[in-house]
Amino acid sequence: MPEPVTFLGRATALVGTHEASAIEMGARTLLKKRDRAAAEFPVMEEMRDRARAIRLHALSNLDRLLGHFADRAEEAGVNVHFAADAEEASATVARILEETGSRLVVKSKSMVSEEIELNEHLEASEIEVVETDLGEFIVQLAGDTPSHIIAPVLHMMRQDVGRLFEEKLGVAYTEDPTELNQIAREHLREKFLQADAGISGVNIAVAETGSVILVTNEGNGRLTTTAPRVHIALMGMERIVSRWEDAAVVLEVLARSATGQRLSVYTNVVTGPRREGEPDGPEQVHVVVIDNGRSEVLAGGTAEILACIRCGACLNACPVFRSVGGHAYGTVYSGPVGSVVTPGLHGMEPWWELPYASTLCGACEEVCPVRIQIPSMLLQLRAQAAEGGRLPGWLEKGMSRYTQTAVSPKKWARAKRWASLLSAPISSKGWIRHLPGPGRGWTDSRDLPRPAKESFTDWWRSNRGS
């Protein structure tokens, strides 16, 4: 379980830092690429609709799909395990590693493994776990955490990486990304070819075929699932669609939304271990299907968030995320999606503040490939927090108009209409600098619906502390 933090505390410490400006730059680049890729694909909007329908259909039939998936996967020779929570999931992985006598484990990027804190769990044993995604490898060497769901070291500059490699890998200092890349490649290639087991995530599974699909650009996902004898795939239980052609639709909108690519470099479809007569591939494939709070989310009012395909576009589009970066959110899932997912998975009590970490500008929903209605879910969570007597201190100060409006979806809808909130010039760049004092009440400023003609400063004067 990640440590609860105050979002505001973290955010305040991050605003205006070198880390925050690196995030701002990186997220903007990614968003630009996404916008270009969406614009050049003539059927992007239809494909988004289709992806949404596919994902919602999968969620409403989730138990059936998971059952099919397990049957088909077992027929293909996969060992399917079901884990109710983080503890059980990690213990299952540890048991498989022990039973297969695995000592060296290579890992390709998996958010769910971070969610269940697998590395920490395995540290206790003698097993060496090596992250192989370049970004995750850097994060692991630095003892840091990822700052973006698809670009883990968005917060670091090349000089940071150069110094880190010099210190941890004993190589001469360089800040040339090509050389840094080469150093990592050589170091990790040896690990891949000697590893006993590979651990991966699952981007999407196919019920009809028992396949798990992993996408990477670097090829580490393929090496992880090809070179070692044992492949263990960790799968959040919602990561599934009915048919192979449904998966293809999801993969197309995923790549475009994440990095502006038409497809990721490697889309790797694994259906069981190496078959009779095959020259290479793993001898064993295990899939661990993980609940860890998801069935509670599915049973509640924010079930739709489980349709998420983890493209990261909503992070890149979010003015709050861009100003503070992923570390402010305190868990593996950051940005708008994280503000809905985290309270759902880990409980409202320590995380009730996250739904307030948003300007409700609507940019997340606009870019989301599966059109998840994030702002309305944030409102719902705020209402829940308010009912539980939870309101951030930075909002209590005279924010009565805000609290009444922002926690009631109906009033909010009305407010949105008259305040033309969505078209309000939310200047995403540097908006924090316009506020009096970096820490105080920075989020509330953008949170409030305001009449279109009123300038932000006027609004601020008349509302702040009144």
- Decide whether 146 or 228 has the Cβ nearer to ligand SF4: 146
Shortest Å, Cβ 426 to ligand SF4: 18
d(CA 269, CA 241): 14
The site that binds another protein (CB under 8 A) totals a number of residues, namely 114
- Decide whether 240 or 354 has the Cβ nearer to another protein: 240
Question: What are the phi and psi torsion angles at 104 (to 5°)?
Answer: -110, 125
Shortest Å, Cβ 202 to ligand SF4: 15
Site for another protein contains 47 (CB under 8 A):
yes
CB 60 within 8 A of CB 52: no
d(CA 23, CA 353): 22
Shortest Å, Cβ 62 to another protein: 5
Region binding another protein by CB under 8 A among candidate stretches 173-181, 348-356, 413-421, 427-435 = 173-181
Site for another protein contains 80 (CB under 8 A):
yes
Give me the sheet containing 284-290, strands edge to edge: 79-83, 284-290, 230-236, 197-200, 104-107, 128-131
H or E element at residue 204: strand 204-206
Residue 330 touches which of ligand SF4, another protein, none (CB < 5 to 8 A by kind)? none
- Decide whether 161 or 419 has the Cβ nearer to another protein: 161
d(CA 331, CA 343): 10
Region binding another protein by CB under 8 A among candidate stretches 9-17, 19-27, 315-323, 344-352 = 19-27
- Decide whether 156 or 368 has the Cβ nearer to ligand SF4: 368
CB 200 within 8 A of CB 224: yes
The residue whose two tokens read 């079901």 is: 82
Site for another protein contains 157 (CB under 8 A):
yes
For residues 163, 166, 171, 175, the Cα torsion angle rounded to the nearest 10 degrees is 0
Nearest Cα neighbor of 316 from 456, 451, 149, 124 is 149
> What is 355-402 written as a DSSP string?
GGS----SHHHHH-TT---HHHHHHHHHHHHHHTT---HHHHTT-HHH
Shortest Å, Cβ 192 to another protein: 8
Site for another protein contains 130 (CB under 8 A):
no
Residue 190 has a CB neighbour count (10 Å cut-off) of 10
Binding another protein by CB under 8 A: which of 26, 201, 350, 441?
Answer: 26
Region binding another protein by CB under 8 A among candidate stretches 179-187, 347-355, 357-365, 443-451 = 179-187
Residues with Cβ within 8 Å of 198's Cβ and at least 6 positions away in sequence, in order, are: 105, 106, 107, 108, 223, 224, 225, 226, 227, 228, 230, 231, 232, 282
- Tokens representing 45 are 């909007």
- Decide whether 11 or 253 has the Cβ nearer to another protein: 253
Binding another protein by CB under 8 A: which of 171, 265, 386, 422?
Answer: 265
In the chain, the amino acid numbered 421 is L
CB 259 within 8 A of CB 41: no
Site for another protein contains 448 (CB under 8 A):
no
Shortest Å, Cβ 353 to ligand SF4: 19
Region binding another protein by CB under 8 A among candidate stretches 50-58, 335-343, 419-427, 431-439 = 50-58
Site for another protein contains 128 (CB under 8 A):
no
Q: Where are the alpha helices (DSSP H) in 16-133?
A: 18-40, 44-60, 62-75, 86-99, 111-115, 118-123
Binding another protein by CB under 8 A: which of 113, 211, 284, 331?
Answer: 211
Shortest Å, Cβ 109 to another protein: 10
**Which positions from 220 through 249 interact with another protein, judged by CB under 8 A?**
220, 222-223, 225-227, 229, 237, 243-249
Site for another protein contains 210 (CB under 8 A):
yes
Residue 189 touches which of ligand SF4, another protein, none (CB < 5 to 8 A by kind)? another protein
- For binding to ligand SF4 (CB under 6 A), which residues are involved? 257, 308-314, 337, 367-370, 372
d(CA 6, CA 396): 16
Residue 368 touches which of ligand SF4, another protein, none (CB < 5 to 8 A by kind)? ligand SF4
d(CA 168, CA 148): 23
**Which positions from 278 through 337 interact with another protein, judged by CB under 8 A?**
278-281, 283, 289, 291, 295-296, 298-301, 303-304
